[in-house]
Structure 1
Amino acid sequence: MFYICSHWAIRSIRRLWPSLFAATAVLIMALSGSLSANHGVTNPKVQARVDLMTTQKAALTLLSEMASTRRPFDRSQARAARKSLEKTTSQIPKRFRRPHRDPHSLAKAALWHNWDDFKARAKRANTAVKELNTRSLTGLRRSLPAVIQSCHACHDTYKNPGHEFTTH
């Protein structure tokens, strides 16, 4: 009986290992401060935006490294990154709804003056993420540019140039 239970447990861990690894890596980065470092931000609402965008950047970095073969393609890690992006891109309008200010915020005031356009861009980003193909390296390479383009289109319009680490 012990052999059967231990064999089942080992097989389950092996099957879940890539997803557990990706989730653990994100958790370690968050706890170590690389995902939630405040970079001088004092307003908690602005910090929530920074955290949201930093989480997205980590997922996009992982997917970009896979697409460029700097990291081996792993279907379950790619799927976990896509799920993270789906969740976070859907939260963009909520996090930016009110024009909370902070001296270290890079969000332009034009964002709130053109709220409908901003929401439409956030929706396009979320749609591009939902269309992200993480089943194969070829699919990822074909669909990832649309996600990156939607991010850049919004940042080019509504983000002041600033430090590389700050993505809000």
Structure 2
Amino acid sequence: MASSDPTSLVGSMDEIRRIFNKFDKNGDGKISSSEVIDSLGELGTKISTEEVQCMMQEFDKDGDGHIDLDEFVDFIQHGGMDGGADGTTQNGGNKELKDAFDLYDIDKNGLISARELHKVMKMLGLKCTLGDCTKMIRQVDQDGDGNVNFEEFKKMMSNGLV
């Protein structure tokens, strides 16, 4: 059941496409900063315009001001890291990963719980139970506290599940 696929928290390509479509409110094939704000607001996540602009810069590799499906998939699959192997710098060196982590960390306590993961999955239209989310968390939870901290998330996104 354990997988080495770093997209395990979001699932298959079809699920990634479905998530993209949830963010792409107007269906134009690209995600704008206002669509990011709206989508995160539905999750109960408040985000500043500056935070959205930073996030957009990380996702938007071609600099057109929007996130297209290819950029979204690249971020999900590689954690937004060009090359991926050197994503080990301290704190600020993993801004892209921190932004992705923060999407799941709804209560902003520095941990992703099974309940938070379940809430995000439901909002994104993915069918999974709280039990499924608990199993996903267990696959990544190396310290056994029942949550995923940023270091565990970073390791999962950088190297696949351990």
Q: TM-score range by the shorter chain?
A: 0.3 to 0.5
Which of 1 and 2 has greater Rg? Answer: 1
For normalisation by structure 2, the TM-score amounts to 0.32
| Structure with the larger helix share | 1
| Structure with the larger strand share | 2
